[in-house]
A = this chain, B = another copy of it.
Amino acid sequence: MKIIIFIIDGLGDRPNEKGETPLKIAKKPTMNRIAEEGICGLMNAIDIGIRPGSDTAHLAILGYDPYKVYTGRGPLEAFGLGLDLKEGDIAFRCNFATVDDNFIVKDRRAGRLDFETAKILEKEIDGLEIDGVKVIFRSKGYRGALVLRGEGLDYMVTDADPHKDNVKVEEVKPLRKEAEKTAEILNKLLKIIYNKLKDHPVNIEREKKGLPPANIILPRGAGIVPKVEKFYEKYKMKGAVICGTALIKGIGKMLGLDVIEVEGANGTPNSNIMGKAKALLNNLDKYDFFLINVKAADEAGHDGKFELKKEIIEKIDNMLSYIFENINKDSVYFVLTGDHSTPIEVKDHSADPVPIVIWGKSVRKDDVKEFDEFACAKGGLHWIKGEHVMRILLDLTNRNEKFGA
């Protein structure tokens, strides 16, 4: 029996003054069918009243305790960019940025630096060594990931990124004694990078064209690569991730899941959602487990766009109908849920639980006939946590171990 967990990012919402949510009023015949045939409930990825990130929520739903394995977004972004990280590496998200001689940030994205130029500048940073610590850097346009590898490092340091323009690059500060060396190295590194990049031919060329030079990187979101039991070791299932965003890919890679790339899947409302369905069906024979993430509903939530979020949900419903024409209860347990709510009124993640349905041969079907925040609250799963999801699925597919005799 295969397991498919389908996550609509930012799915849940709070009712507007008419008592409506995008999910409640969306036309979603397939989601409703799944709810009617399955067992429904509400879920908080981490716990009741805890506002999760997409990263911590996905980790929890995959059965990993985010309080143990998550220290910051850096490592996940670095994994997502394809870096081969080792336990203990310290990783940061970065932007290429433009600073003046006084380290005042003039443009936090260096004019949204293009991929090709970034790749040229990447070579100036990747491979540096400071006080015995190896510097690894990988770019993706103006974004990138920085990794420090060596002895005596610690992730408890502040961001260099001031998160806005026209202020000075922040001096990196240690948040505890063990992080003093790391902060020192980062501050040295930023000066070295500035000196290497400020007169670099591509930047001189950019300035000639009136473009902001990419003469610094701004690290943020420090984290340490944790010791994690790989997904296959933990569950004895060959698994894959299908998603558009680097963050979720990074989670997959950190856990040793294969990442199935889908052309045009980019995490935006125009993402190639149907391409993900096809990628799933084309690879169904090759894996025991799939995690599929569709990001666009979350984006609409962050932008406060009710109608857009509803339309995206309807588009996803259409994609699900395609999947459900091609899978059956003899071979699959299918979970439809979200990682967290991104309510229109909040424009950010909230701790409101998300609806969840588990569909498959031997679930105890309940009376719920609609997939939304209200109907699912009356389902047979009641109100579960992310950590329960994999355990329930392992049990339904007769994979989990007995405790006792």
Given contacts A51-B402, A56-B403, A348-B402, contact A362 B343 (CB under 8 A): yes
Interface of A: prevailing SS = loop
A383: Cβ under 8 A from any B Cβ? yes
A53–B401 Cα distance when bound, in Å, is: 10
Residues of B within 8 A of A352 (CB): 364, 395
Min Cβ gap A365→B in Å is 6
Taking the full assembly, how many copies of this chain does it contain? 2
CA distance A55 to B53 in the complex (A): 35
B345 touches A362 (CB 8 A): yes
Give the shortest distance, in Å, between A293 (CB) and chain B (any CB).
15
Smallest CB-CB separation from A46: which chain B residue?
A: B403
List which A329-354 residues lie within 8 A (CB) of chain B.
343, 345-346, 348-352
Asked whether A364 lies within 8 Å of B391 as measured between CB atoms, the reply is no
CB of A76 to closest CB in B, whole Å: 8
| Size category, A interface | 35 or more
- Segment at the interface with B among A201-209, A308-316, A373-381: A373-381
A52 touches B374 (CB 8 A): no
**Given A48-B391, A352-B395, A380-B377, A53 and B405 touching (CB < 8 A)?**
yes
**Interfacial chain B residues near A346, Cβ < 8 Å:** 398
Cβ 8 A contact of A403, one of B14, B52, B365, B392: B52
A63 nearest CB neighbor, chain B only: B49
Type the 1/0 row for A258-294, where 1 means its CB is closer than 8 Å to any CB of B: 0000000000000000000000000000000000000
* Shortest 9 CB-CB contacts between residues of A and residues of B: A53-B404, A49-B391, A56-B404, A351-B395, A14-B362, A53-B405, A377-B380, A48-B388, A73-B405
Chain A residues near B (Cβ < 8 Å):
14-15, 19, 42, 46-57, 66, 70, 73, 221, 247, 343, 345-346, 348-352, 362-366, 373-374, 377-378, 380, 382-384, 388, 390-392, 394-395, 398, 400-405
